[in-house]
Amino acid sequence: MLFNLTRLTGWLLALFSLPAHALTIFACQPDWASLAKVHAPEAEVFSATTAFQDPHFIQARPSLINKMRQADLVICSGAELEVGWLPELQRQSRNAKVSPGGEGLFFTTDYVAVLDKHDHVDRSMGDVHAGGNPHVQFAVADMINISQALSDKLQQLDPKRAAQYLQAGEAFRQRWAAKMLIWKNRALSLKGKKVVGYHATYRYLFAWLGMTQVADLEPKPGVSPTTAHLTQLAKLDPSNIYAIVYASHQNSQAAKWLAERTLLPTIVLPQSVGGNEQSHDLIALIDNSINLLLASSR
Amino acid sequence: MKVKWLINAVVMGCSGSVFANTGPIISGPDVSVVLDGFYQDGQRAFSNRDEGFGLGHTELGLTGSVDDKFRGVLTGIFESHHGSTEIELEEAFIETLALPAGLKIKAGRFLSEFGYLNSKHTHEDAFTERPGVYRALLGSHYFDDGIQVSALLPTEFYLAVSAEAFSGKKMDAGFDDPATVGVVAGKIETGSDIGDSNSWMLGLSVLRNGNGHMQFGEHAHDHSEHEHEHEHGGHDHSSHDHGEHNHGPAYTGRMLYGADLTWKWAPQGNYKYQNLRFTAEYLYLDDLYDERFSSLDGAPSSLSGFYGAFVYQFNPNWSVSSRYSQFDHMSNHDVHGHGDHAHGHFLDEQLKEIDFAIAWHSSHFGVVRAQVSQQDYLDKRDNIVSLQYIMTFGAHGAHAF
């Protein structure tokens, strides 16, 4: 009996004691995994998706449920980007920490000046998010804010390593701020350029660089390109347009079709960290995206 | 969002007197509507979908958090059947949100976790109807009043277990004095990924139906007569005289076992443009009846069936699916109890179905489907053509794997 009691106490202690290991972090996109690694170098970080997957269409599969079960912190874009799978993962993983209202749930869009918010959303408008455009891995100026909030969150969840998180966050923000100056300068020639896009994936990057997406290969957000719509786009005056831009996870057919007819160059940008060989982290992602945009001189 | 607005108005109206002017209003529950309409030029065995125009599983669902510890779900079903509209409560349950150790408790009326398809809403299906073995042994989908305890085990790989207890009235074989807790069920499930492109899940289920086996007794006679009519419904090709009409299974036994395998593929795991899904299930029904019936001529000791289904979405708007299913069972011929012995005999029967469907997805929320089914049953071959739409509006919950 005594033996059993000691054993039971041991079990209970093991159950309730604070984890000695670093945090386990589940990121919905590789960009947030990359950000997490920089901010919490000792943490175990997992990305649920890759740059080659459309983040709207992810399966709430067993492996992800199990990863979320183990997570101390879940970092997602929010603004309904993951609405088709994240709620199911939260329900099935039974991890209250990272469920709605839990302290381990972090949405980056909460710390971004979100663009294109809508007061009224109807599905006839296509896949429009009332909360605004959720593709904030390219919200260059807001990354400072996201970093600050993430750093605070990490300190709150794992106070023992607070100093480490504080330092890592500050170092990142310094690097990022320095990079922002370099990027802005390097991309000066892109200012005022008009592009044809595919979905509003690069809304934030274009806005920051002073570029405009004047047309979309998608007839409506989330609706795949149709021949009728592309035929309309083919009538655009190409002399006004810089390029056709699409992302690493998107089908190239529509862009190629339009490029053939308009003789516009096409640019494939990484959707996320890992979208091409160069984009190995968040800084490299922006770096490389700007380089690719610049490379398309005509 | 008119519905949502309406609900909000109702919620506000109700709470208005108590919490007048307390600032921001808590958002109302998520309201979801599924519209399912069809036309078909025949009727499948063990099915409730009539020939001709009809409404299938028209759902009205409400979900919301009760507080930080509970979530509630209410789903009502409207279905047309022989010219009248049937209303059924498919789900009305609460579930815990914050139990420790990966535990979850569900209570109320809900879909059993048995098998792969059963816990899914029919609007997620790739075919107009579930395979024959599901229709015959689970009444297409088994939901009942009860309680479920489930756990996600703290293993490195995904391992989920669940245990359920139900009233079992829908699966009652006709007992005079049925057990209060008629059905208990359990499931174990695992799954993983193979690279970025492949994911799989495997499940084993068992269901013990305390009132499931054909009983020998005073009233056994009446009961088997009744069964008899049911089975023969198929013979004159009208499961129409569905007797007292319940949506329960046509065959019950004491033990039902299931094994299911699901495998999904998408290039680099990108499901938007292209993906392939495969599911196969095997169901085995055992311990069918009282000893005195099992000694009759042709009495099988068990029934079983399976299906295998492929769904290939080849672009964001189109998918094709095909399915083969089989159900080996028996028909009763004048089986009844008499004094201390039984009369009659059983004959082996087999239902074979091949389905082929093509679906146009207007978006993530709308599907129009055309399906051709070839049914071989009772020495007769039927070709059934079905047209169906399933459209959803309002909130749309995320789907399970």
| Radius of gyration of chain A measured on its C-alpha atoms | 22
Q: Is residue B12, in this structure, part of any structural domain at all?
A: no
| Position B27 pLDDT exceeds 80 | no
pLDDT in tens, B297-335: 888 989 999 999 999 999 999 999 999 999 999 998 888
Q: Is residue B145, in this structure, part of any structural domain at all?
A: yes
Position A7 scores a pLDDT of 63
Mean pLDDT across the stretch B259-287? 97
Q: Is residue B114, in this structure, part of any structural domain at all?
A: yes
Position B221 scores a pLDDT of 40
Interface test with B, best of A59, A85, A218 (most B CBs within 10 A): A59
| Position A23 pLDDT exceeds 80 | yes
| Residue A256 pLDDT grade (very low, low, confident, very high; cuts 50, 70, 90) | very high
| Residue B18 pLDDT grade (very low, low, confident, very high; cuts 50, 70, 90) | very low
| Position B243 pLDDT exceeds 60 | no
Partners of residue B103 in chain A, C-beta under 8 Å: 94
Average of per-residue pLDDT values in chain B: 86
* DSSP code of residue B204: E
CB nearest B158 (choices: A56, A63, A96): A63
A213 touches chain B (CB under 8 A): no
Query: Residue type at A198?
Result: Y
Q: What is the ipTM of this complex?
A: 0.89
User: What is the chain A residue with the closest CA to B98?
Assistant: A96
pLDDT in tens, B162-198: 999 999 998 888 777 888 899 999 999 999 999 999 9
- Are B398 and A222 a contacting pair at CB < 8 A? no
CA distance A5 to chain B (A): 20
A219 touches chain B (CB under 8 A): no
| Residue A5 pLDDT grade (very low, low, confident, very high; cuts 50, 70, 90) | low
In angstroms, the CA B179 to CA B165 distance is 12
- Are B364 and A222 a contacting pair at CB < 8 A? yes
Pairing relationship of beta strands A243-247 and A194-197 according to DSSP bridges = parallel
CB nearest A59 (choices: B154, B190, B264): B264
* Phi, psi torsion values for B227, nearest 5 degrees: -55, -45
Tell me if A216 sits within 8 A of A243, measured CB to CB: no
pLDDT in tens, B347-369: 999 999 999 999 999 988 999 99
CB nearest A123 (choices: B264, B365, B399): B365
The structure tokens 């399906």 sit at: B371
Interface test with A, best of B34, B71, B148, B152 (most A CBs within 10 A): B152
- Are A87 and B191 a contacting pair at CB < 8 A? no
In angstroms, the CA A105 to CA A120 distance is 26
Q: Which helix (H) or strand (E) covers residue B234, if one does? A: helix B220-235
- Are B193 and A61 a contacting pair at CB < 8 A? yes
pLDDT in tens, A154-199: 999 999 999 999 999 999 999 999 999 999 999 999 999 999 999 9
In angstroms, the CA B49 to CA B57 distance is 10
In angstroms, the CA B165 to CA B106 distance is 11
Partners of residue B189 in chain A, C-beta under 8 Å: 62
Mean pLDDT across the stretch A258-270? 96
Partners of residue A59 in chain B, C-beta under 8 Å: 199, 264, 271, 401
Considering only residues 50 to 69 of chain A, which have any Cβ-Cβ distance to chain B shorter than 8 Å?
Answer: 50, 52-54, 56-63, 65-66, 69
CA distance A229 to chain B (A): 15
In angstroms, the CA A21 to CA A14 distance is 13
Mean pLDDT across the stretch B40-61? 93
Strands (E), B82-157: 84-96, 103-111, 143-152
The CATH class, in words, for A20-180 is alpha beta
Return all residues near A284 (Cβ < 8 A) that are at least 6 apart. Answer: A273, A278
In angstroms, the CA A134 to CA A80 distance is 7
| Residue B236 pLDDT grade (very low, low, confident, very high; cuts 50, 70, 90) | very low
- Are B271 and A251 a contacting pair at CB < 8 A? no
| Position B285 pLDDT exceeds 80 | yes
Query: Residue type at B149?
Result: V
Position A9 scores a pLDDT of 58
Position B72 scores a pLDDT of 96
Considering only residues 129 to 188 of chain A, which have any Cβ-Cβ distance to chain B shorter than 8 Å?
Answer: none
Residue B248, domain extent: 94-385
| Residue A11 pLDDT grade (very low, low, confident, very high; cuts 50, 70, 90) | low
Interface test with A, best of B97, B313, B360 (most A CBs within 10 A): B97
Partners of residue A53 in chain B, C-beta under 8 Å: 196, 268-271
- Are A62 and B201 a contacting pair at CB < 8 A? yes
- Are A50 and B268 a contacting pair at CB < 8 A? yes
Considering only residues 63 to 102 of chain A, which have any Cβ-Cβ distance to chain B shorter than 8 Å?
Answer: 63, 65-66, 69, 83-88, 92-96, 99-101
pTM of the model: 0.88
Of A52-56, A198-202, A270-274, B291-295, minimum mean pLDDT range: B291-295
CA distance A9 to chain B (A): 16
CA distance B23 to chain A (A): 19
Interface test with A, best of B197, B200, B270, B365 (most A CBs within 10 A): B270
User: What is the chain B residue with the closest CA to A82?
Assistant: B398
CA distance A187 to chain B (A): 31
Mean pLDDT across the stretch A222-243? 94
Domain CATH code at residue B134: 2.40.160
In angstroms, the CA B360 to CA B275 distance is 15
What homologous superfamily is domain A188-295 in, according to CATH? Nitrogenase molybdenum iron protein domain (3.40.50.1980)
| Position B229 pLDDT exceeds 70 | no
Mean pLDDT across the stretch A107-134? 90
Return all residues near B141 (Cβ < 8 A) that are at least 6 apart. Answer: B111, B117, B118, B120, B122, B130, B134
Other C-beta atoms within 10 Å of B23: how many? 5
Q: Is residue B306, in this structure, part of any structural domain at all?
A: yes
Mean pLDDT across the stretch B137-160? 96
| Residue A12 pLDDT grade (very low, low, confident, very high; cuts 50, 70, 90) | low
Average of per-residue pLDDT values in chain A: 92
**What's the total number of domains in chain B?**
1
Position B173 scores a pLDDT of 85
| Residue A144 pLDDT grade (very low, low, confident, very high; cuts 50, 70, 90) | very high
| Residue A66 pLDDT grade (very low, low, confident, very high; cuts 50, 70, 90) | very high
- Are B272 and A99 a contacting pair at CB < 8 A? no
Q: Is residue B74, in this structure, part of any structural domain at all?
A: no
More confident residue, B147 or A6: B147
Position B290 scores a pLDDT of 82
- CA A22, A28, A30 angle in degrees (round to 5)? 80
| Position A14 pLDDT exceeds 60 | no
CA distance B28 to chain A (A): 16
DSSP B357-389: EEEEEEETTEEEEEEEEEEEETTEEEEEEEEEE
Mean pLDDT across the stretch A265-274? 97
User: What is the chain B residue with the closest CA to A65?
Assistant: B158
